[in-house]
Amino acid sequence: MRLFTGLSLTYEVRRNIELLYQSLEPLAPIHWSPVANLHVTTKFIGEWPAERLDELKAALRGMKKPTGFTAAIDGFGWFPTPHHPRHLFAAVRAPEALAQLAAESDRALAVIGVPVEDKAYHPHLTLARIRDAHVDLSPIKQFIAQLPSTDFGRMTVTSFKLYESRNSQYTVLEDFPL
């Protein structure tokens, strides 16, 4: 099983991104993330044996959790850099509680053998992957620069989810209240 934990998006945020895609997709031949798959990852778990799924769920249930909070999806960025991008993302603005959730997930799952993250947590929504380093992204960059607003909406976060990724389809396996 290929697993991760994350936050689901509100209808408003999904719809706003879906409307943006209608303008952006024709501008460059890059791989756009399906709107249905958009989420904010809090912990990438990777391959996990199905026979140990209950153990993993128990670790997530028992971890220290922050209280609920509000997050905003606002702004764009490029990983690793704007000059040599491999991903286009929407920025997630949230209080320290989101970083705390990611750190606590890391700690709780390390106890059962999930590798600890070696990079700083940077919450985002991956909108597109750029597989061809020579594709012209200037039309996308120009379009984004001319947007009157990059605010996709806010969401009240009261839980996080355990997802399974199979054949580019994401399935929620369990919801964990904060």
Could you give the angle at which helices 11-24 and 138-145 cross, rounded to 10 degrees? 130
Handedness of CA 158, 43, 167, 77 (dihedral sign): positive
Q: Which of 20, 110, 12, 96 is nearest to 60 (CA)?
A: 110
pTM for this predicted structure:
0.93
99 sits in which H/E element: helix 96-110
For 2-177, CATH number out of 3.30.1360.30, 1.10.760.10, 3.40.718.10, 3.90.1140.10 equals 3.90.1140.10
Give tens-digit pLDDT for 8-33: 999 999 999 999 999 999 999 999 99
The tokens describing 173, both together, are 């396996």
Q: What is the rounded average pLDDT of the residues 159-163?
A: 98
In the predicted model, is pLDDT for residue 168 greater than 90? no
Contact 37, 168 (CB under 8 A): yes
Query: What's the CA gap between 67 and 69, in Å, rounded?
Result: 7
Angle at 10 between CA 110 and CA 3, to 5 degrees: 25
Quick one: what percent of the chain has pLDDT higher than 90? 98
Kindly indicate the confidence band of residue 137, based on its pLDDT and cuts at 50, 70 and 90: very high
Give tens-digit pLDDT for 62-80: 999 999 999 999 999 999 9
Q: What is the rounded average pLDDT of the residues 44-63?
A: 98
Angle at 134 between CA 133 and CA 138, to 5 degrees: 105
The tokens describing 99, both together, are 């970083």
Q: What is the pLDDT of residue 6?
A: 98
